[in-house]
Structure 1
Amino acid sequence: MSSADDATERPTTTALITGAGRGIGAEVARQLGRLGTRVVLTARDPADAAAAAGPIDGAEAMPVGVDIADQASVETAAQLFAARWGHLDILINNAAAPPDRDETPSQANLAAASDALRVTLFGTWRMTQAFLPLLRRSSHPRIVNVSSGAGSHTDGQYGFPAFGGAAASHAISKAALNAFTAVLAAELSDTPVIVNAVCPGVTATVPGAEAFGARPVEESAPGIIWAATLPDHGPRGGFFRDTRPLGW
């Protein structure tokens, strides 16, 4: 085969990113694409995924919307993925429920709190179960759960003590996501599947957020890229921000 033919081959590493229609999910896709990874973007609205994938080399959009809170939607996506791409090397569970920053535990609407857990925790859990068989077909499978220091007891910047109990459902759901990461990593400790959680820090995912101290998505994405491309001897079951361990 000629070098020209080699240059036109599809990348051998395939990544799937949830919640990739905009924000940090789309930026992670861009940065992975620059590394030569085939990136498959998903969003609840497939048009959003297609628009985000268009400018990225090596990127494609899942042809259907993926609602991680809906079992049938996730199962359909997994079947389509298996038929089209065959295996999965990197699963980045980025989609999550948006935080209600004014909510406190004593005043929380428990229906809304249940919805936050249904998306952030159980949606990630559902995606992982559905795509794990495809990850097992990879030689170097990686799972990255995009979490938050809001789910940490010890993070002085964003953790439980920092905000007087505000954004309660967000914090609790992210703490649960961290626990899921730890127990999943323990289950898979004797397999090639490396699982970690990453806090991207406060990130400007909506216009004007920089004015409140959020950093650009370009600065937050590399920590996720790092976890998605760890070597086979890399850490497992950890919680990181900007490649550094973060306290639970």
Structure 2
Amino acid sequence: MIGPGASAAELIAHLQTLRSEEKITGMTRFGIVTGTALGISNPDLKKIARLAKKDHARARQLWLSEIREARMLALYTAEPKKLTRADACRWVKDLNSWEIVDCAADLFVEARLDDLIFQFAADEGEFVRRTAFAMIAGAAVHRKQDPDEALLAWLPLIESHSADPRNFVRKAVNWALRNIGKRSRYCHAPALALAERLAVHPDKIARWIGKDAVRELTNEKVMGKLK
């Protein structure tokens, strides 16, 4: 039985019993890297995480396994208050798929490691840079008590990386811009102004980001939800 006292080795052994070749195949259709995958869905991993409870030392051990599901479980059971900059900088170098990036970004946001956003954005690694913008996108939604100005401060970084042609970066840059714009009426105008500027940018990637963001930020339903 998986419980709070389960070790990393016991959790990994349990995960191995749940291996599904069919689900591994299905994951590839969503662009998930499956080289070390066991084929366990994230909802099922979250159930295991709730049983195992938080344990930061164990999360570090789970990460070392290199198994996709063990690393996802590490992110779900790590303790944000104990997560260090060294942890984040070490883990981010191992990220190799959009889904684990986005999960890690949520943890880093909860741990309030915002100072790493500039560092990650400056990194040339596709998934490291995606982490920076996934963090901004997540903070815009989850950090409701933060002042709007803190989110608007990321707009210049979004603009500076708007021409990155790599698929997982450009989508995250777009995501960050849209989420800031949808955060509040105060954030909407500056975000929309940037989106409109990008929509006529000479670079085609920046234009795509801008046009897509303008489309969403001028949507009546979106505007109707702004507070």
The structure whose Rg is larger is: 2
Between Structure 1 and Structure 2, the one with more strand by share is 1
Between Structure 1 and Structure 2, the one with more helix by share is 2
Same fold (TM over 0.5): no
Instruction: Output the TM-score relative to the length of structure 2.
Output: 0.35
- Which protein has greater RCO, CA pairs closer than 8 Å, 6+ apart? 1
